[in-house]
Amino acid sequence: MIIFKNQNDWVAAMKKAATYKTAYRAVYPYNLLFYGADGTLYADCVNFQKALFNGRNVYAMQANTYQNTLNNTGDVNEIQLLNQCDNVSADFRLLKANEPRILWMDGHIGAFIGEEVKLNGYIYNCIEWTAWAGDFGHAGCIYSYVDGAGNRLSHKGGVQAGRWLKHGLPSRYVNYVAEPKWVQKWHLYQGDTMLKGWQKVNGKWYYLEKTTGIMLTGWVKDGDKWYYLSSNGDMLTGWQKINNKWYYLTPQNDGVHLTGEMWTGWLKDKGKWYYLDLKNGDMYTGTHTIDGKTYTFDSSGALIS
């Protein structure tokens, strides 16, 4: 049963745990988490992941209460949880960015969180719930690293140095969504699917023609609104000089104008008034008659009188 709609949500849940007050505890009865009176969340390595994969909200527990971690996963130990994963492998060169995986060694389990991949040095950032980062029953959820030989290096001075032996994708609980990738610089694919229309990639908006999927540049009309896309295809916003004329492209959706939309008519920006042609959107300078009245704008477009 899918619990996390994408891999980033699973990583976010683990990272959140690493910011909380946590501690290792082999909670009895087994397959339970315990939330202490002092706000400490107690678990062991496998029960922490089982709680997440069973959809438990480990951050909404009351003090001095237990939470059962079973449902989807069943009563499994760390190797049995690994065996529920897909693409189980002992080759750690297969780890890659934005593809978090379960990590396993004999008697212990953790999770590679898809960050800080250095393929030449084989350094992989991971999160684990461990008792061996200072004193027994204390460490809880921490970050650690894996070196080129597969050895885990703890932030707590290298204690409990061990070796991860295998890793796998928990795809029955996490919906792995492929990162969009550009093909030949003008098509965008997500997995095997060619994307079309407006697409946000790395914080920037692009427009892919609705039939062919080709990335467009320059002026684009979508509905009754105009937008301008750079030579790289990303949507421009704010004041832009295009073919020696100034245009104002809405920086952020204001409830009337959409982000990137070409502005027309009166505009107040930083305390000054400007006027953008109702048809073409270019900024007025000099003297113009608007709605039967004469107005004068300076060379910067600001209203004088």
What distance in Å separates the CA atoms of residue 296 and residue 291, rounded to the nearest whole number? Answer: 14
Q: Could you write out the three-class secondary structure of 216-255?
A: CCEEEEECCEEEEECCCCEECCEEEEECCEEEEECCCCCC
pLDDT at res. 294: 96
pLDDT at res. 17: 79
- pLDDT by residue, tens only, the chain of 305 residues: 778 888 888 888 888 877 777 777 765 555 667 777 777 877 888 888 888 888 776 666 666 666 665 666 777 888 999 999 999 998 877 877 778 999 888 888 888 887 765 544 444 577 777 765 444 445 677 766 666 565 555 443 333 445 778 899 999 999 988 767 677 668 888 887 889 999 998 889 999 998 888 899 999 999 999 999 998 899 999 999 999 999 999 999 988 899 999 999 999 999 999 999 999 999 999 999 999 999 999 999 999 97
Cβ proximity of 6 and 119 under 8 Å: no
What distance in Å separates the CA atoms of residue 14 and residue 16, rounded to the nearest whole number? Answer: 5
Measured between alpha carbons, how far apart are the two ends of the chain, in Å? 67
Q: Which residue has the tokens 């027309």?
A: 264
For β-strands 238-242 and 265-269, DSSP reports them as unpaired
> What contacts 16, CB < 8 A, 6 or more positions away?
59
Structure tokens at 66: 């237990």
Q: What is the largest CA-CA distance in the chain?
A: 83
